A and B are shown apart, each in its own frame.
Chain A
Amino acid sequence: MRITILNGEPGPGSPFHGYVHRLAGCLRDSGHQVTLLDLAALDLKGCSGCWSCWVKTPGRCAKEDDSARVCQAALDADLLLAASVVRMGFTSSLLKRAADQMIPLLHPHFLIQGGEVHHRPRYARYPAFGLLLGAGPDTDAEDLEITQAIWRRFARNFKFRPVFSAVADRSAREVADALAAAA
């Protein structure tokens, strides 16, 4: 299975950063093809709401940065895993910056999907989606539940099939096995 991991942890020396890298190693040991993107190491300029990716350069962000790499890695995967510590009640602004710059993966036209207005898919195929959260010092169960609810909506909007959600409170090996089984 091809797995792309978006590591939204800004600090390369943090325990969660190390955890995500151990998880990638466990998945590779199990025979999966893993692309691990440390978002802190990428040049992501962020979405400025210009809609160029919909109406000027359809399908591509007009900014010269690494967001194209994120979009390509997401679409190439069978499973896209977003990983971040929850601080102040939500995943990191770094992960959010990457997510905001994924809107070129959708088409601006609207359609009805599951009884709601959503954007039309631009692609024939989208990956399954997983969410891996770390609990920050101020994180409680409600924060995790709200964060998961928001990312479920994100997956729904992006035509990603949500298959996995976990908190990094088990060994990386256990999470890797659970992730592979879920997908």
Chain B
Amino acid sequence: MPSLLLLDGSPRGPRSNSMKMLARLAEGWEQAGGAPPQVLHLARRADRELAAAVFKEAEVVLLGLPLYTDAMPAQVMEWIEALAPRPGGGPVLGFLIQSGFPEAAHSRPLQRCLEKLARRLRCPCAGTLVRGGGESLQLRPDCSNGRLWALLRTLGGQLARDGRFGAAEAAALAGTERYSRVAAALLSAAFRLPAAQFYWNRQLRRNGAWDRRFAAPYGRAAGS
């Protein structure tokens, strides 16, 4: 069984939603007989430098990251800039993109970019996992994510056994690609309800920032 290098590309580091998901993939990898992976957090400069060096010898690499302003976080791009194709080809390379938006469509252009990176580095690509609604992992207790964790463990096992993710399981993880017009209209109405913005409103109130929630320090505020 080859070794696995887990690269956490979240700027939040170990407490990130990306890392929570990567940890479940790693559990599936280990349940399928793989050795515990090496984990590096690309938000840390020292880990970033180490990851560029370790990549040269790695057998299977799984890079997980949050979608930041429609692409990889800057720290991940900094790591990518330090890579070069390995003579004879690179490790098996897989990706996990998790996004705060619920639809998978937001992540697809970045998926193309990362899969092109695998080709550029002459790495066999294990596939790209896309998951929306990642920020909701902060809201819910771990015990309520049982189905998601089970699916991620299955995908981790597939990576260990087959060297790639199963298409059906990856599609199940991605969920909704785009909303239908009817669903979008219903969501549009729902977003006008304060309860739909609960996650942000609760934090604004806790931080004493509620009265400043529409602050516009660089120009004229929307709706003014």
**Chain B residues near A164 (CB-CB < 8 A):** none
Kindly state the separation between the CA atoms of A3 and B81 in the bound complex, as whole angstroms: 29
Instruction: Find B109's partner among A107, A118, A153 (CB 8 Å cutoff).
Output: A153
19 contacts between A and B (CB under 8 A): A46-B74, A47-B11, A47-B73, A49-B66, A88-B81, A90-B80, A93-B81, A94-B74, A96-B74, A102-B69, A103-B69, A110-B196, A112-B184, A116-B105, A116-B184, A143-B116, A149-B109, A150-B109, A153-B70
Contact, CB under 8 Å: B116 / A100: no
Docked Cα-Cα span, A68 to B219, in Å, equals 12
Chain A at the B interface: SS class = mixed
Contact of B213 among A58, A96, A151 (CB under 8 A): A58
The CA-CA distance from A74 to B12 in the complex, in Å, is 26
Contacts of B102 in A (CB 8 A): 117
Residue picked from A58, A71, A149, most chain B C-beta under 10 Å: A58
**CB <8 Å contact, A157 and B69:** yes
Given A47-B73, A47-B74, A157-B69, CB of A121 within 8 Å of CB of B109: no
- Report if B145 contacts A (CB, 8 A): no
A105 cross-chain contacts in B, Cβ below 8 A: 218
Residue of A nearest to B69 (CB): A99
* Chain A interface size range: 35 or more
Q: Assess whether B69 is in contact with A107, with CB atoms less than 8 Å apart.
A: no
CB nearest neighbor in A for B206 = A55
**Given A88-B83, A88-B120, A59 and B217 touching (CB < 8 A)?**
yes
- Cβ of A97: which chain B residues have Cβ within 8 Å of it? 74
Determine how close the nearest CB of chain A comes to the CB of B95; give it in whole angstroms: 13
Is the CB of B148 closer than 8 A to any CB of chain A? no
Give 9 closest A-B pairs by Cβ, nearest first: A93-B77, A55-B203, A97-B74, A112-B188, A93-B78, A96-B74, A59-B215, A108-B200, A75-B218
B103 to chain A, nearest CB (A): 6
